[in-house]
Structures are given as C-alpha cells and as structure tokens.
Amino acid sequence: MKIITTVSETHSEMNKVKELGKKIVIVPTMGYLHDGHLSLLNHAKELGDVVISTLFVNPKQFGPNEDYDKYPRDFERDRNLLEKTGCDYLFYPEVSEMYGEHFSTQISLGGITKILEGVTRPTHYDGVALIVLKLFNITKCDVGIFGQKDYQQFMVIQKMVNDLNLDIQLVMAPIIRENNGLAMSSRNRFLSQEEFTQAAILNKSLIAAKEKILGGMRKRNEINKFITKSLLTSSLIKIDYVETVIDFTFVLMDEFHSGDRIVILLACWFGTTRLIDNIIIQL
C-alpha cells in the first residue's frame, strides 16, 4: 500500500491510474478502524480496480464542544489493518495540507442537514460535505463507499452529488455490529463495560419496532413512542432523538402506507458517548 500525504502527489498518482482506464473507489475514514471499515474496504475491492482509503480527522465537522481532540487515533494500527485488507493507497494528510492558512470556502447544503443530527450538531454536515467534496476532487474517484450506520450522512452526500452534478457513484454498505448487536463505531471504545452491555438496547429496540410495524403499526407517533419506551428500559441511556422518516427525502408523515420505504433513526447518550443507529424497513 502506498501512503501519500500531499494533494499534489495524490493528483499525479491518480492521474496515472486514470490513464490506465482504471476505476477508483474511495473509502473515506477518520481512522481508528474497526470491522465496519474493513467491510467497506472489502466491498470497495469488488466495486473497482484501485482502492484509496483516506484517513483524516476532519476538524471542520466537529462542533466547538465536541470530541475532536479526544477522537481516537492510532496511525500504526490503522496502517497495518489497511495493508492486510489489500488497500492500494492511503491518503493521510495533515490538517494544514487540507485547510491551508487562507482557506475560507464553506459549503451549506440546507435541507436535511438541519434536522435530526443537524439539530444537535448544527455545523456537522456542512463540515462533512466540505471534506468529502475535497476528497472526491483530490482522489478523482469514480465510486464512494460509505456505511449505513451514518445513514443521514450518506443522504447528505448523495444530495451534494446530485445538486452539484458530481460524476460519482455512491454505494451504501450495511451496518456491521458487535456480538450484542451494537453498531460498530470508533467511539464504542469510550463505553464502560456496563454501558456497552446496555447499549445493545438500540438495536434491540429497532428490531422490535420493525416487527411491530410489519405487524401493522403505521402511525409515526406510535412508532416513535414504542421505541422511546423500549430504549428507556436501559437505566444509563439519555435519548437525543428518535424519528421515523421516509427513505431518502426524510419526509415526516403522520402515517405510513404499504409501498413506503421508511427509516427509523436514533441517537442516544451513554455517559459522554453519543451513539447513533438506524433501520430501513420496506412496507
């Protein structure tokens, strides 16, 4: 695996790859890789000829009181994992390489960036969109692969791709879970043993709600209340939001109907750790 730290070298390497007519797949990450990331990489290898992973903890997607400084980092560990997975290139820039002294451009997508995650984290998705657009441009990728765990993020990126007419195919890869059903996340390492055990309630509640919905529960309020009640059986949980939306558009209906594809999204705190999860249900 070739490690590149500058934009100019990435441009020239990717130009060579393009000249050979090869398809480039990007797997953007903030590092501290887990099996969820590795499944993205394995998936990426099936989608194109050359896989470039990026490792960059993007300061612009963290709010002032969020965990940018605390975000877990372990470059050597990540590099070994990427090498073992057969990644071709790793783009690993410094913050100064991505946001030089005179950097001032901002992206503001509006729409779905302002709801759910966007309420608690108002500048988060503008920061994500900015870095992802830069990474798409730097790597000249044809395909971008992102995990379903960050469902709203995927839809924000898809919206940016559509609105800005980017010639990039996006692929959503399924959520990879711990043995107890908790969605894998770099932040899970901050959970105590007891919090980790209790956090299994997120996935359990989503699965129980799916059964209820397929059994006929169709009113949005009832669905949200059912999940909230189920989540609150954990003594350590603090709920940020639970919401059920129409897939892709995030339209909030009072009641869902056969043929709708809906998504239940939730965010909860266990101590100082914020976890998100979701489930997609075809009615």
Residues taking part in catalysis: 37
Which of residues 138 and 237 has its CB atom nearest to ligand PAF in the complex? 138
The verdict on 4 binding ligand PAF (CB under 6 A) reads no
Contact (Cβ atoms closer than 8 angstroms) between residue 59 and residue 66: no
- Residues 190-229, one symbol each (x = binds ligand PAF by CB under 6 A, - = not), give ----------------------------------------
Q: In the complex, what is the shortest distance from the CB of residue 53 to ligand PAF, in angstroms, rounded to a whole number? A: 10
The verdict on 30 binding ligand PAF (CB under 6 A) reads yes
The verdict on 25 binding ligand PAF (CB under 6 A) reads no
* 3-state class (DSSP) for residue 53: strand
CA dist., res. 8 & res. 14, Å (int)? 10
Instruction: Name the segment binding ligand PAF (CB under 6 A); options: 22-30, 114-122, 213-221, 260-268.
Output: 22-30
The verdict on 29 binding ligand PAF (CB under 6 A) reads yes
The verdict on 152 binding ligand PAF (CB under 6 A) reads no
Q: Where are the alpha helices (DSSP H) in 50-91?
A: 75-85
Task: Tell me whether strands 261-270 and 273-282 are parallel, antiparallel or unpaired.
Answer: antiparallel
CA dist., res. 81 & res. 65, Å (int)? 31
Nearest to 182 by CA among 172, 167, 193: 193
- Residues 50-89, one symbol each (x = binds ligand PAF by CB under 6 A, - = not), give --------x--x----------------------------
User: In this structure, what token pair is assigned to residue 158?
Assistant: 């898809």
Which of residues 4, 38, 112, 128 is near ligand PAF by CB under 6 A? 128
Q: In the complex, what is the shortest distance from the CB of residue 236 to ligand PAF, in angstroms, rounded to a whole number? A: 25
Number of residues that bind ligand PAF (CB under 6 A): 10
Q: Is 140 exposed, middle or buried (0-12, 13-18, 19+ CB in 10 A)?
A: middle
Which of residues 170 and 217 has its CB atom nearest to ligand PAF in the complex? 170
Which of residues 90, 107, 129, 132 is near ligand PAF by CB under 6 A? 132
The verdict on 28 binding ligand PAF (CB under 6 A) reads yes
User: In this structure, what token pair is assigned to residue 40?
Assistant: 């993205």
The HSE-up count of residue 199 (CA atoms within 13 Å, CB side) is 30
Which of residues 48 and 93 has its CB atom nearest to ligand PAF in the complex? 93
Which of residues 109, 131, 175, 263 is near ligand PAF by CB under 6 A? 131
Instruction: Name the segment binding ligand PAF (CB under 6 A); options: 15-23, 28-36, 102-110, 172-180.
Output: 28-36
CA dist., res. 175 & res. 150, Å (int)? 9
DSSP 127: H
The verdict on 117 binding ligand PAF (CB under 6 A) reads no
Contact (Cβ atoms closer than 8 angstroms) between residue 127 and residue 62: yes
Which position has the token pair 């969605």?
A: 183
Q: Which residues, in sequence order, are bridge partners of residue 279?
A: 264
Q: First and final CA of the chain: distance in angstroms?
A: 44
List interacting residues with ligand PAF (CB under 6 A).
28-30, 58, 61, 128, 131-132, 150, 153
